[in-house]
Structure 1
Amino acid sequence: MANCSEVLPYTSSLYPEVRDEPSVIALTVIVIILFVLTVLNYAEELWFLCRVYLHGPNRKYVIFILTLFPVISLCCLVGLLIPRSSLIVELIASILRASSLWVIVKIVIGYFGEESKLLAETSDLTFTLQSPPCCCCCVCLKGSPLSSGKLRLVKIFCFQYVVNRPLMVFILILLWTDNRYSDTDEMSPSNPGTYFQILSTISLLFAMWGVIALVRAVDSRLSGNRIRAKFLSVQLMTVFSVAQRALLSFLASRDAIGCVGTHGSMVQAYRYHLVLLVLESFLLSLIARYAFRFQEPPLTYEDTTEKPETKYDNTAFKMDET
């Protein structure tokens, strides 16, 4: 492989090089330890949920969110050990990260039992799209009660990202197989990844916009359920995955990140991103532990349905203190 190559290395050339680099070996061991700690934390949370959280309507969504962190960490570890798998692991991570925003919306609805109950319980609350990241300064957007149309708009904002982001990564994989794109290419008009990154960022901003507006609207009803902490763990995971990679790639393109051995600056930026993401996954898994693993207070409201069997069971959310 040429010196300072910007092509992700094969394992056949990567491993002989790192044998003589103790710092790289030590860093890899630290990454593996962080991954194991993330998995152990996840396993204990699953044991807790299976023991005391058997029939809650949000149980499957909670498990999905908690699964996000060890899987992202595993994807990063695979990307470090097998660099040429970068787009495959990014496709898996993109599906999980995009779906997690949709799952947060489902968790909010699940606390009330169904959409009609959510709308009935929040009729006296103010919902406004004057919120970050898109329209925090738009004073023309006045607040009003949450309606079915606005809730549908929030769901559309989230669902479009669930579809768009994995689809864009899949198209990039097709371009990569045809040698028209590389994950370490610099951002430029001739790089098709630049346009996909711009579209993906716009899609993400709309998804974040909708979820933030919904969480802010219902926060007073769900403050005891730590709904902001639940969303924060997912939000930061998505932001770190996207913004951090973009920042490191920009620094590498300006030679702020140097070439190491046969690995060019963009390859090094990609490796630094994966290492940091493993650390961040572990830290965010602790935030998720705080957000989900505790005794949640029951919600009290009148059941608006006529069928007794569909009555919302608040006791399903009672959980032991850690």
Structure 2
Amino acid sequence: MTGFDPRCTQEPPLAIEVILQLDVFGIILYAALTFMALVSMLLYMEECVYIYRKVSSNKKSAIIWVNGAAPVIGAMSCLGMWIPRATMFTDMTSATYFAIVVFKFLILMIEECGGDEIFLRQSENKTFRISTGPCCCCCPCLPQVPITRRSLFMLKLGSFQFALLKVVFTILSIVLWTNKNYDVADMTISGAAIWINPGVGILTIIALWPVAIMFMHVRNTLRSVKIIPKYAMYQLVLVLSQLQSAIINILAMYGTIGCSPPYSSQSRGYLMSQQLLILEMFIITLVTRLLYRRQYDPISYSEGEEEKNVILAIESGEHCGKNNH
């Protein structure tokens, strides 16, 4: 190619090189995005304190994990923006955190229904519709599955395997990378990425299926706790952090996104993806904070009284997890 710049094939720049090459617009852009990531984390920490003080113990862990998805991804994207050579590690951290969020969102829906025992009691003689995405949305002929302790356990297991195995694959990828056997851009048959990444993709689809099944079952009974917009935010984080980033990175890998020294084409693709994610996760953090913060009051009754109130609320036709004083 005429006029090809050899710097387009070099490694991502060091952090000091990023700082030195910034112009006025770059300084303003980086400062604004860093400010957004910092505010997101501060809002999340404040929200954790609020949840810890005012939410019942059975929901605290799940809500804190789910609320942290956007701030953590935004913070990791900010680190990757400033330190381009750490992009692989920041992306892996974000993906691993979100794998745990998938499982925690399933647990949150169950806890909003009062926990396993109350959910099973109120769902007796009912069924799960398994013909839903992302696995079986095109298979309406699939039979309904009775709601039992075993089927509930299988749903939990389906999501938990992703949280566990994603950590395992992340550690394996880092170990192989240190031995120069793992490269995200190496899509040859002899590269480790071509085997690990599709495996993680399959695990992701398997993990998302139980969450979708549970959501389809409880979306009406939990409407009053805004489960639909909460699920929408969870799905939006998934699409933006996984699908959007994958599309940009693939375009960069095949040269569709041009290089801009000191950034190669692939490094520039990562940079664009991270900058978009910081802005998007900042907005999602604000929306998620409104959805979760406004739902809860200080807990002033004992655990036994809490369960009794949940049962009375269910029997009176209100949502599964609403506690009335």
TM-score between both structures, scaled by the size of structure 2: 0.84
Q: Partner of 2:221: helix, strand, or coil?
A: helix
Cross-structure match for 1:58: 59
Partner residue of 1:311? 307
Map of 2:278 onto structure 1: 278
1:105-157 deviation line (CA, Å, top 9, x unaligned): 21122123331210121236441110011100112212244222221121111
Corresponding residue number in structure 2 for 1:31: 33
Q: Could you tell me whether the CA contact under 8 Å between 2:41 and 2:75 is conserved in 1?
A: no
CA distance in 1, matches of 2:172, 2:55: 40
For residues 186-220 of structure 1, give each alpha carbon's deviation from its aligned partner in whole angstroms, at most 9, with x where no partner exists. Answer: 53434321221111111101111110011111112
| The 10-residue stretch of structure 1 (122-131 or 147-156) with the greater mean CA deviation from structure 2 | 122-131
Deviations 1:30-73 (A, max 9, x none): 2112213323432453454355x143521232122222322221
Equivalent in the alignment of 1:3: 7
Other-structure match for 1:304? none
Aligned twin of 1:117? 118
Counterparts of 1:137 and 1:70, CA distance in 2: 34
Alignment deviations for residues 214-235 of structure 1 (CA, whole Å, 9 cap, x no partner): 1111112111112222233223
Moved more, 259-268 or 237-246: 237-246
Equivalent residue runs for 1:104-253 within 5 Å: 104-123=105-124, 125-183=126-184, 185-253=185-253
| Cα gap change, 1:153 to 1:47, in 2 (>3 Å) | closer
RMSD over equivalenced CA pairs, Å: 2.7
What's the offset of the Cα at 1:83?
A: 1.8
Distance 1:186 1:25, change over 3 A: farther
CA shift, 1:13, in A, is 3.5
Superposed displacement of residue 268, structure 1? 0.7
Cα separation, 1, equivalents of 2:214 and 2:39: 33
Specify the SS of the correspondent of 1:130: coil
Residue 8 of structure 1: CA displacement?
2.4
Instruction: Indicate if the aligned counterparts of 1:6 and 1:266 stay in contact, CA closer than 8 A.
Output: no
For structure 2, list consecutive stretches of 5 or more residues without a partner in the other structure.
298-302, 314-320
Q: Is the 8 A contact 1:186 1:253 kept in 2?
A: no
Q: In structure 2, give the amino acid aligned to 1:7.
A: E
Relative to structure 1, the CA distance from residue 102 to residue 35 in structure 2 (aligned partners, 3 Å threshold; closer, same or farther) is same
CA contact (8 A) 1:248 1:273 kept: yes
Aligned to 2:316: none
Alignment correspondent of 2:300: none
Alignment of 1:15 onto 2:19: yes
Aligned equivalents of 1:231, 1:154: Cα separation in 2? 17
2:71 maps to 70
Quote the offset at 1:269 in angstroms: 0.7
CA contact (8 A) 1:87 1:169 kept: no
Distance (whole Å) between structure 1 residues aligned to residue 34 and residue 323 of structure 2:
34
Aligned letter for 1:25?
I
- Mapped contact 2:74–2:278 kept (Cα < 8 A): yes
Deviation of residue 294 (structure 1)? 2.0
Residues 38-57 of structure 1: matches in 2 within 5 Å?
A: 38-46=40-48, 48-50=50-52, 53-57=54-58
Counterpart secondary structure, 1:57? helix
Could you tell me which runs of 5 or more consecutive residues in structure 1 were left unpaired when the two chains were aligned: 298-306
Alignment partner, residue 268 of structure 1: 268
**Matched letter for residue 34 of structure 2:** I
CA contact (8 A) 1:131 1:213 kept: yes
Moved more, 264-273 or 224-233: 224-233
Opposite residue 192 of structure 2, the aligned amino acid is P
What amino acid does structure 2 have at the position aligned with 1:175? L
- CA change 1:150–1:31 in 2 (3 A) is same
The code of the aligned residue for 1:107 comes to L
Distance 2:143 2:282 in 1: 39
Q: What is the distance in 1 between the residues matched to 2:323 and 2:280?
A: 29
